[in-house]
Amino acid sequence: MTDAPAAPPPTKSNPVVRTAVFVVVVGLVLGTFVVLGKQDKPPLMPATAPHKLRFNLAGDLIGVMGEPGLGDGMEGVVVEKKAVERRVNTTCQACHGAPAMDLTGHACATVGKCIPEQHPPKMECIKCHRMPSTLPTSTSTP
């Protein structure tokens, strides 16, 4: 019978090094939040009909106000979220253009609301551009 070689003794990591790594990681995460929090927020969508999002009774997005095919009977309809978001974003592009698109002669050029050159490449409009809050403010007295 042959003797197996003895396993090396377990090594202990230095607690000072672990603490330093933890502090650096936490600092990087907090620094990232601070940098991202100081960036300008995207402009809100105006409160006009083509910019108002419509939701069904369950709170699911079904489209925008005035969209063809969305009658009053659509409130209870179950819709696939990604398909509706794509349709709404396509509607946005029809009026405002798309990033890196030649917008000369586009519909947005006459209104002056074309997507700016520095716009991020993603076209997921409703994820960044939110509807303004239309909820009334509370004015109750004690």
CB atoms within 10 A of CB 87: 15
pLDDT value at residue 57: 78
Contact of 66 with 88, CB cutoff 8 Å: no
Mean of the pLDDT values across residues 67-88? Answer: 67
3-state secondary structure of 62: strand
Q: Where are the domains of the chain?
A: 49-126
Q: How many CA atoms lie within 13 A of 90 on its CB side?
A: 8
Farthest-apart Cα atoms in the chain, separation:
91
Backbone angles phi, psi at 107, to 5 degrees: -60, -35
Per-residue pLDDT tens for 37-47?
877 777 788 77
pLDDT at 73: 54
pTM above 0.85, yes or no: no
Q: Is the pLDDT of residue 110 over 70?
A: yes
According to the model, what pLDDT value does residue 136 have?
Answer: 44
- At residue 24, the pLDDT reads 97
Which residue, among 117, 125, 113, 107, has the nearest Cα to 42 in the 3D structure? 125
pLDDT confidence of residue 138? 47
